[in-house]
Structure 1
Amino acid sequence: MSNRKPIRKAVFPVAGLGTRFLPATKAIPKELLPIVDKPLIQYAVDEAREAGIEQMIFVTGRGKTAIVEHFDIAYELESTMAERGKDLGVLESSRFTPGDIITVRQQVPLGLGHAIWCARAIVGDEPFAILLPDEMMVGQPGCMAQMIEAYNEVGGNLISVLEVPQDEVSSYGVIDPGEVSGALTEVRGLVEKPPADKAPSNKIISGRYILQPEVMRTLENQGKGAGGEIQLTDAMARMIGDQPFHAVTFNGQRYDCGSKTGFVEATLALALEREDLGAEVRAIAERLLAR
């Protein structure tokens, strides 16, 4: 019987300004931009819920209160829909038990590591998950469910990775791999954006983490790294050797929704897979491509 603490909490860093999507993100958080008919953040939250995570911690910034509103109960909307006999099931995934959504403010944009550190009091002394909503991971089961299955086997710290062509590695954080067992790879080191010919592997870090609470202590005392920001990668690298550290190769599809092309690709891919939209969207795409 394992004495590992279960993963009950997930941190979502959502304080970014979304400048790549201006002017769309001037008044709406980029995390609420829809992929087909669900906001981007909803896909990450659904993935966490599927993995058995109970408490969602949003690290927000100014102008991000609409994210919390999205996961609240909208009484006027629901009563109007009920009166008109409309199905309320469509809102089910955006509803939470009181207390299961918690927000903390990152007052100054000091990097991903700092955003995670802002959640230290809520995470407490438990291992926790991190999901970066910009990285949209589509799989059966979802990426976090795949990672929790691996965590139950090996414990310690885990990150999700994907294999990319060698000439693309310089855009990402890359792992220095050790022993490989199925989807699990031992992590011996982490290298941020290495030149393609110097990269230790083609396995890139892809926006999902399960970390032990000690990472908060590491972040507490950590100076600024690349870009003058407090980097999560630096803190994780310092924990290698002290605790088990593995990468899980995600079996599924990743869409980089932090870029416009990735956002369009995700929208098109998910629409094509929908029973209610797929055939029509395919016909539209073919018509546009034939022009």
Structure 2
Amino acid sequence: LDSGIEEICIVAAPGDEAAYRSIFAGYKEKLLSAFHGDAWSREQSSRLADLERRLQFAVQEQPEGYGHAVWCARDFVGTEPFLLLLSDHLYISGEQRRCSRQVLDLAVQHSCSVAAVQPTREHLIHRYGTVAGKRLPGVSNVFQIEKIVEKPTPSVAEQELLVPGLRVGHYLCFFGMHVLTPTVFDILDEHVRQDNRLNGEIQLTPALQELARREQYLAVQTNGRRYDIGVRFGSLEAQVALALAGVDREEVLARLAELILQFEQDRLPAAGRVDSTTRISISPSQPA
């Protein structure tokens, strides 16, 4: 919402809308109860209520792939560009502008589709769509997309997806955030009618590859980080990152340090333990 989004559509399975709305209602009540209705909890509860009012739902009758899920939202989107987010990703910006605002600004500037990307180490690219392209003249973090491969192997990436200027062993992977023109629905319509499937599903990546062929499609190296909640330890990592990005960073760091010390102490023989009154202080300038 801070990026200017006014309407939100969630693509969900049949009957899931009530469950989603109950989550919002439950969080509002828990916030007010846990924090005794203080100013912060009232503000957050109000923001959740505002978010819920903007929600609409599109039903995907059967789980037929990511591209099919996007296609199910075509009536909601209509003929306007739209912002597409993955529901199992958390995004934390490295600057004042939200990650989504960074992508939206570039899409407005160039009047085209834009994908957020992040340099990703070779051993992780099997999780993500990966792109190759050329830098736009005079811009260090914007690329013209030329090729997209869904979850490539390192050998495929080395042969087809090298981007000049990136560190060795790093590739540009999708950040889970796109601004897309309605052209993508024309392409997905064709794929649905022709039953064009990849690994048994109507995928989004082939549609994005065709989008890049038909019109300008840029990638921007976003100033921020993504946290994939759907992988092992992903939820834990996302929660810690969110806490460290908040106003209570110093207290969170101190508590994490004490927790680590406690667990390490439990592994030591009694003679080697540090006195329980020991405290650890971490300066905000030290890397976490």
Question: Structure 1-normalised TM-score?
Answer: 0.74
8 Å contact kept, 1:150–1:184: no
8 Å contact kept, 2:132–2:146: yes
Give 1:136 shift. Answer: 1.4
1:125-140 matches, cutoff 5 A: 125-139=79-93, 140=95
The unaligned stretches of length 5 or more in structure 1 are 1-48
> Are 1:288 and 2:263 matched, yes or no?
yes
Give 1:154 shift. Answer: 1.4
Deviation track 1:57-94 (CA, whole Å, cap 9, x = no partner) reads 0111145332223446999x49x86xx75442231221
Q: 1:287 to 1:274 in 2, by over 3 A?
A: farther
Aligned to 2:271: none
1:75-90 matches, cutoff 5 A: 77=29, 86-87=38-39, 88-90=42-44
Q: 1:52 to 1:286 in 2, by over 3 A?
A: farther
> Are 1:192 and 2:144 matched, yes or no?
no
1:61-100 matches, cutoff 5 A: 61-62=13-14, 64=16, 65-71=18-24, 77=29, 86-87=38-39, 88-96=42-50, 100=54
Aligned to 1:53: 5
1:101-112 matches, cutoff 5 A: 101-112=55-66
Aligned to 1:227: 199
Using the alignment, how far apart are the partners of 2:260 and 2:238 within structure 1?
Answer: 14
Deviation track 1:27-76 (CA, whole Å, cap 9, x = no partner) reads xxxxxxxxxxxxxxxxxxxxxx121110010111145332223446999x
8 Å contact kept, 1:272–1:282: no
SS in 2 for 1:109: coil
Aligned to 1:116: 70
Give 1:176 shift. Answer: 1.8
> Are 1:215 and 2:184 matched, yes or no?
yes
Larger Rg: 2
Give 1:99 shift. Answer: 5.7
| 2:147 maps to amino acid | G
Give 1:260 shift. Answer: 2.9
Give 1:224 shift. Answer: 3.7
Identity of aligned residues (%): 28
The unaligned stretches of length 5 or more in structure 2 are 163-170, 268-288
Give the aligned length. 239
Give 1:229 shift. Answer: 0.7
SS in 2 for 1:158: strand
Q: 1:168 to 1:281 in 2, by over 3 A?
A: closer
